[in-house]
């Protein structure tokens, strides 16, 4: 922890990559692990373009359920600690795989969303995105107002889809310029997000993993802080006044 705090205090550009474990203590289940979402549900039946094409109502309903769950969640001390890091570090970028929006709720501004945003809907015809915080949405996917023949879909990235290119480019640029890469609450198994970690290592950033469990990339990182985001991150951020 002492070494980690020193790297954080001295870093010119702090980059944080988060995954579902960052939101776990806010009551949003992770995807893998004993109580993970993908233990109860099959990703290919709910989180692919093919699933939405064949059973749009089911997919829409599942995202409605997740929106209801997320709407009840509050950011925790770890999110506040990241906001404090952003306020104090010379440069700070938060790259997240999460779609819940808890980062914005604590005022984090330099945010890259790799996997989209559950609070957006997208027209399946023209791709127009709209924010919508209603919970729940209608029980069936509505038709787009601009293209009445087209359905709206959730604004998240599904398996088999490319990541939004601007988000990806921003993420790569940030990691290439990072001198500290903090990897929080991700199993580091979903590509291409996980490749940002190896990119950071290759570019010589100090790398720190915050996770109660080890991951396939744990041994490649400089430091591993085994524990929960809500306790480790405030302890790290306390290096700043």
- Residues designated as active site: 115
Residues 32-61 that bind ligand OAD (CB under 6 A): 32-33, 36, 43, 47
Q: Among residues 141 and 185, whose Cβ is nearest to ligand OAD? A: 185
Q: How many CB atoms neighbour CB 26 within 10 A?
A: 19
Beta strands in the chain (DSSP E): 13-18, 91-96, 111-113, 116-123, 129-131, 152-156, 180-184, 206-210, 223-225
Q: Among residues 93 and 98, whose Cβ is nearest to ligand OAD? A: 98
Could you give the 3-state DSSP secondary structure of residue 6? helix
Give the residue nearest to ligand OAD (CB): 21
The pair of three-digit structure tokens given for residue 10, joined into one six-digit string: 């001295």
Of the candidate spans 13-21, 117-125, 137-145, 172-180, the one that interacts with ligand OAD by CB under 6 A turns out to be 13-21
Using the rule CB under 6 A, is 190 a contact of ligand OAD?
A: yes
Residue 39 C-beta: closest distance to ligand OAD, Å: 10
Residue 131, beta-bridge partner list: 120
Q: Among residues 12 and 35, whose Cβ is nearest to ligand OAD? A: 35
Of the candidate spans 65-73, 101-109, 138-146, 186-194, the one that interacts with ligand OAD by CB under 6 A turns out to be 186-194
Using the rule CB under 6 A, is 124 a contact of ligand OAD?
A: no
Q: Cα–Cα distance between 198 and 207 in angstroms, integer?
A: 10
Per-residue contact track with ligand OAD, 139 to 158, x per CB under 6 A?
------------------x-
Using the rule CB under 6 A, is 94 a contact of ligand OAD?
A: no
Could you give the 3-state DSSP secondary structure of residue 151? strand
Q: Among residues 14 and 157, whose Cβ is nearest to ligand OAD? A: 157
Residues 6+ apart with CB under 8 A from 97: 17, 18, 19, 20, 114, 115, 186, 190, 193
Residues 198-237 that bind ligand OAD (CB under 6 A): 210-213, 215, 228-229
Residue 35, φ and ψ in degrees, nearest 5: -105, 20
Q: Cα–Cα distance between 67 and 119 in angstroms, integer?
A: 8
The pair of three-digit structure tokens given for residue 2, joined into one six-digit string: 């002492």
Binding footprint of ligand OAD on the chain (CB under 6 A): 19-21, 24-25, 30-33, 36, 43, 47, 97, 115, 157, 184-187, 190, 210-213, 215, 228-229
């Amino acid at each position: 922890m002492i070494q980690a705090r020193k790297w954080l205090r001295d870093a010119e550009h702090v980059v944080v990559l988060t995954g579902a474990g960052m939101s776990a203590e806010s009551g949003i289940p992770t995807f893998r692990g004993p109580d993970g979402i993908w233990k109860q549900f099959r990703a290919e039946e709910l989180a692919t373009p093919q699933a939405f094409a064949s059973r749009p109502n089911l997919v829409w309903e599942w995202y409605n359920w997740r929106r209801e769950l997320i709407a009840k969640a509050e950011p925790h001390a770890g999110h506040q600690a990241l906001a404090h890091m952003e306020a104090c570090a010379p440069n700070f970028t938060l790259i997240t795989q999460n779609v819940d929006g808890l980062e914005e709720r604590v005022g984090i501004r330099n945010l890259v969303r790799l996997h989209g945003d559950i609070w957006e809907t997208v027209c399946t015809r023209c791709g127009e995105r709209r924010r919508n915080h209603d919970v729940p949405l209608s029980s069936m996917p509505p038709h787009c107002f601009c293209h009445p023949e087209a359905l709206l879909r959730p604004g998240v990235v599904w398996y088999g889809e490319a990541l939004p290119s601007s988000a990806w480019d921003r993420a790569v640029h940030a990691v290439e310029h990072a001198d500290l890469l903090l990897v929080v609450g991700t199993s580091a198994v979903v590509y291409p997000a996980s490749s940002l970690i190896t990119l950071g290592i290759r570019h010589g950033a100090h790398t720190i993993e915050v996770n109660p469990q080890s991951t396939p990339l744990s041994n490649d990182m400089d430091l591993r802080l085994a524990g929960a985001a809500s306790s480790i991150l405030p302890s790290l951020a306390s290096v700043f006044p």
